[in-house]
Amino acid sequence: MEPLERAKQEFIKSYDEHVDALFRHCFFKVSDKEKAEDLVQETFVRTWKYISSGKEVRNIKTFLYRVASNLIIDYYRQGKNVSLDQLSEKGFDFSEAKDEILENAEFSRVKDLINELSEKDKEIIIWRFLDGLSPSEIADVLNIKENAASVRLNRAMKKLKEKMDTLE
């Protein structure tokens, strides 16, 4: 098998391994299933472009998260996020778009609390608990030292806990 073909097979394998977590990550961030799917697709396509241009990827998992995070930032920068109210005003019919995920009360409650955190704290909480990245993997995505990632994670957890305690 040619090196490129082998790389492609490996890459497709990485899709099977990471697609669920990446979709969860994107969905959590954009609250739109279709958009989340598009973001996942674009994440894999861009990563493949990078690989096929001869560049090295040390850790495919953290690389995918880094690409996805950049795409999400671009998505919000481009102002393509339209609020549900705005969509309703435009006559969008939610009855057909309703999804069991959106109806999950626990999801909404925790998501609201996380959304109250700063962008940095929110990000690190999502990576650790939603995506299941280890502190060293988070450090890799953020391009910082593992110790620094652990400190940031602890601070964010403390803040989230305080918010949860006030509700209980």
Partner 1 sequence: MEDKFQKIFSEFNNIHLSEDEKNLLKNRIISEINLISLRGGLDKQLFAQKWFWYLSQPRLAVSFAALLIFVLSGGGVMAAASRAVPGDLLYPVKTEFNERLAGSFDFSTAAKATREVKLVGKRLQETQSVIAAGRLSPEAIEIVESRLEKHVENIKNYVGVLKNMGENEKVAILQDQLEISLSANERILSSLEVVVGEVASVAPRAKENLASITMERSIAPEVDIEGAPNDLSETAKIKLARAEKAVDDAEILIKRQKIVNDNFGKRLSQIRGELEEGRVLFEIKSNREAIEVFDSVFRSASEIKMLLEASHKLPIRIEFSDTGSEDISVSEEGPNTGILISPVVTGSVRGEFKNLRSISTTSSLRSNFSENILKQDRGDF
The stretch near partner 1 (CB under 8 A) out of 48-56, 60-68, 73-81, 84-92 is 48-56
- Residue pair 142/149 in contact (Cβ under 8 Å)? The answer is yes
CA separation for the pair 122, 153 (Å, rounded) = 10
Q: Is 48 in the site for partner 1 (CB under 8 A)?
A: yes
Among 57, 60, 117, 157, interactor with partner 1 by CB under 8 A = 157
The stretch near partner 1 (CB under 8 A) out of 57-65, 89-97, 122-130, 138-146 is 122-130
CA separation for the pair 83, 91 (Å, rounded) = 13
The stretch near partner 1 (CB under 8 A) out of 45-53, 62-70, 72-80, 90-98 is 45-53
Which amino acid is present at 166?
Answer: T
CA separation for the pair 20, 137 (Å, rounded) = 18
CA separation for the pair 22, 40 (Å, rounded) = 7
Q: Is 79 in the site for partner 1 (CB under 8 A)?
A: no
Q: Is 110 in the site for partner 1 (CB under 8 A)?
A: yes
